[in-house]
Amino acid sequence: MNNVRTLLLSLVLLGPFTNITLAQDVFLNKRASWMAKAESYRPKLTVTPKLPIQLVDVVIDSNAFQDVKAVAKSNISEFYKMQFSKPKSVILDFGEHITGTIKFALSTTGPADSPARLKFTYGEIPADLYYSLDTLKPTITRAWIQDEEVYVDVLPNTIRLPRRHSFRYLKIELLYSVGFTFNFSEVSCAAVSSAGLNKFPDTEQMPSLFKEINKASRNTLKECMQTVLEDGPKRDQRIWIGDFRLQALANYYSFKNFDIVKRGFYLFAATVAKSGLLYGTVFEKPIVRPQEHHPIDYCLLYNTSLLDYYEQSHDLETLEDLWELAKKQVEIVAPHVDEKGLIVLAPTWWSFVDWNASLDKQVSMQGLVISTFESTLKIAKLLKKEHELPKLEGLITKMRKGAKENYLDSQVKLFVSGKDHQVSVASQVWMILGGVVTPNEGRLLLKKINSTSSIKPVSPYMYHYYVEALIKCKMYSEARDFIAKYWGGMIKKGADTFWEVYDPENEFLSPYNSFLLNSYCHAWSCTPVYFLKKYEKELNLKTH
285/30 Cα distance (integer angstroms): 21
Interaction mask 264-303, its own copies, x per CB under 8 A: -------------------x-xx--xxxx-----------
Contact 432, 469 (CB under 8 A): yes
**Residue placing its CB nearer to its own copies in the complex, 175 or 412:** 175
134 is a site residue for its own copies (CB under 8 A): no
Query: What Rg value do the Cα atoms of the chain yield, rounded?
Result: 25
Interaction mask 321-360, its own copies, x per CB under 8 A: ----------------------------------------
Orientation of helix 362-382 relative to helix 392-407, angle to 10°? 160
The site for its own copies, by CB under 8 A, has a size of 35
Residue span binding its own copies (CB under 8 A) among the ranges 49-57, 59-67, 156-164, 215-223: 156-164
207 is a site residue for its own copies (CB under 8 A): no
Q: Please list the helix, strand and coil fractions of the chain in percent, rounded to the nearest 5, in that order.
A: 45, 20, 35
196 is a site residue for its own copies (CB under 8 A): no
3-state class of 426 per DSSP?
helix
6 is a site residue for its own copies (CB under 8 A): no
Residue span binding its own copies (CB under 8 A) among the ranges 4-12, 109-117, 337-345, 523-531: 109-117
434/84 Cα distance (integer angstroms): 62
What pairing do the DSSP bridges indicate for beta strands 414-417 and 422-423?
antiparallel
CB of 155 to its own copies, least distance (A): 7
CB of 498 to its own copies, least distance (A): 23
382/398 Cα distance (integer angstroms): 23
Residues 231 to 270 in contact with its own copies, rule: CB under 8 A: 235-236
93/57 Cα distance (integer angstroms): 9
**Residue placing its CB nearer to its own copies in the complex, 84 or 487:** 84
CB of 60 to its own copies, least distance (A): 27
Tell which one of 38, 68, 91, 116 touches its own copies (CB under 8 A).
116
**Residue placing its CB nearer to its own copies in the complex, 502 or 512:** 512
CA angle 527, 215, 487 (to 5 degrees): 50
Q: How many beta carbons lie within 10 A of that of residue 494, not counting itself?
A: 15
Contact 306, 245 (CB under 8 A): no
Helix-then-strand count for the chain, H and E: 16, 17
117 is a site residue for its own copies (CB under 8 A): yes
**Residue placing its CB nearer to its own copies in the complex, 157 or 348:** 157
148 is a site residue for its own copies (CB under 8 A): yes
Q: What's the gap between Cα 277 and its chain centre?
A: 21
CB of 289 to its own copies, least distance (A): 5
Looking at residue 238, its amino acid is R
Helix (H) or strand (E) run with residue 123 in it: strand 116-123
Sign of CA pseudo-dihedral 294, 506, 233, 39? positive
Tell which one of 122, 144, 349, 430 touches its own copies (CB under 8 A).
144
Interaction mask 176-195, its own copies, x per CB under 8 A: xxxx----------------
172 is a site residue for its own copies (CB under 8 A): no
115 is a site residue for its own copies (CB under 8 A): yes
Looking at residue 289, its amino acid is R
Give the binding site for its own copies (CB under 8 A).
110-111, 113-117, 140-144, 148-149, 151, 153-157, 163, 175-179, 235-236, 283, 285-286, 289-292
